[in-house]
Amino acid sequence: MAVALFRKTLNPLNPNIRILRTLSTHAHAVVAIDNSEKPQTDTSSSSFTFSPDHTDTANKGDEIHIKSNKLAASTSVTMPMSFMTGSIVGKRFYKQVTTRAFDDGIGWSVMLDYRTLKTPSKRPLKCPTLPLAKAIAAEWEYQLTDGIRPFTMPLMRLACTALERVPLTRPKIIHNLMTRFHQDLVFCRAPHDNDLTHPIHVLQVKKIDPLLKWVESEFGVKPVVYSSFFGGKQEEGLVKAVENVVKKTDDNELAAIDALTSASHSLIISIAVFRGVIGIQEAIELIRLEEDMQVERWGLVEGGHDLDVADLKVQIASAAVFLGLTKK
């Protein structure tokens, strides 16, 4: 389902984008759909929302509510755990998915029949570009008739995050990114004086050092690498330079960088993807450098390593594609 979804939507937009083959089981978006242009003769449900409470909604007008665990009062669009573990949240109630320009001429909306797709706070989902709107429409188009699966819609999740969470929590997101910066994956180096870790040290020098040289040339400060379990500390000049890059991003870019960093444990890799220095496949290779070497040596655990790889590919690919689709 995911392969067809992305190929159908994104290949015509950019033939160089190669979308990976699985969908993430880690979805974080709660979506809401409301009535936009309801025909007078149509008596079907006019809205579709995720309900945060446990009240009975059987007699509350024509709204359809999906029950879930009660959400804390916050600006987060993270899904309840039940949606992250493969839950189906109601049967598909629409037949046709289309896109339409907003009346103000700014942005594009996704339509499920006559219904306008909305965010969890019931604001219209305004996509900055038509390619992004079409990609999200494709995610909804490929939902099966037996149920809607939010965890198969990573672009929808990122769009909701950019619209609702990032504007309200931008300082906190940046603070969290910079707090973990000193423990960035690319700064950690396996000891070279140990027989067990020497091979991975050699591989890290070969694969990661070119990225660190780019960081030095880009920001004018040489990164500090370390082998300590407790991490190290980067020079203040590098910290400030990286923080300035993050602060200058728009809401869509910051949402994607945050998602990339969460998946990769590396703000440096995320910024390199954002700047176009490395691609999706190279980013995944750097993230899994040590684990792939261990798998090559000791073997792959089916149902473990393979699922981790699939999940990582979806998270990195969806965030990178989201970055590309939001560029005007």
Question: Would the pLDDT of 71 be above 80?
Answer: no
State the chain's mean pLDDT as an integer: 79
% of the chain at pLDDT higher than 70: 74
How far is the CA of 150 from the CAs of 71, 80, 175, in angstroms? 17, 11, 29
Q: Which residues pair with 124 in a beta bridge?
A: 118
Is the separation of the CB atoms in 186 and 266 below 8 Å? yes
**Average pLDDT of 75-87?**
39
- Please tell me the distance from the alpha carbon of residue 212 to that of residue 218, in angstroms, as a whole number: 10
Among 6-20, 67-81, 172-186, the range with the most confident prediction by mean pLDDT is 172-186
First to last CA, the chain: 28
Among 27-31, 61-65, 143-147, the range with the most confident prediction by mean pLDDT is 143-147
Return the exposure string of 272-295: e unless at least 16 CB atoms fall within 10 Å of the residue's CB, then b.
bbbeebbbbeebbebbbbeebeeb
- The domain segmentation of the chain, as residue ranges, is 2-164, 167-325
Work out the burial of residue 70: count CB atoms within 10 Å of its CB; fewer than 13 is exposed, 13-18 middle, 19 or more buried: exposed
- Please tell me the distance from the alpha carbon of residue 75 to that of residue 159, in angstroms, as a whole number: 14
Supply the DSSP symbol for 95.
Answer: S
45-56 per-position pLDDT tens digit: 333 333 333 334
Q: How many CA atoms lie within 13 A of 156 on its CB side?
A: 33
Nearest in space to 285 (alpha carbons), one of 274, 273, 275? 273
230-257 per-position pLDDT tens digit: 778 999 999 999 999 999 999 999 999 9
262-278 per-position pLDDT tens digit: 999 999 999 999 999 99
Which pLDDT value is given to residue 194?
Answer: 84
Phi, psi of 214 (to 5 degrees): -65, -40
Q: 207: pLDDT confidence band, cut at 50, 70 and 90? A: very high
Q: Kind of pairing, strands 47-51 and 63-67? A: parallel
103-131 per-position pLDDT tens digit: 888 899 999 998 899 888 888 899 999 99
Is the separation of the CB atoms in 160 and 29 below 8 Å? yes
Q: Which of 8-12, 92-96, 302-306 has the lowest mean pLDDT?
A: 8-12
Q: Which CATH number fits domain 167-325: 1.20.950.20, 3.40.50.2000, 1.10.3580.10, 3.40.50.300?
A: 1.10.3580.10
What is the three-class DSSP state of 188?
strand
**Average pLDDT of 1-15?**
46
149-198 per-position pLDDT tens digit: 888 999 999 999 999 999 999 999 999 999 999 999 999 999 888 888 89
Q: 79: pLDDT confidence band, cut at 50, 70 and 90? A: very low
Question: Would the pLDDT of 324 be above 50?
Answer: yes
% of the chain at pLDDT higher than 90: 53
Q: Which CATH number fits domain 2-164: 3.40.50.2300, 3.90.1150.30, 3.30.2180.10, 3.90.700.10?
A: 3.30.2180.10
| Run of H or E including 63 | strand 63-67
Question: Would the pLDDT of 214 be above 60?
Answer: yes
More confident: 4 or 309: 309
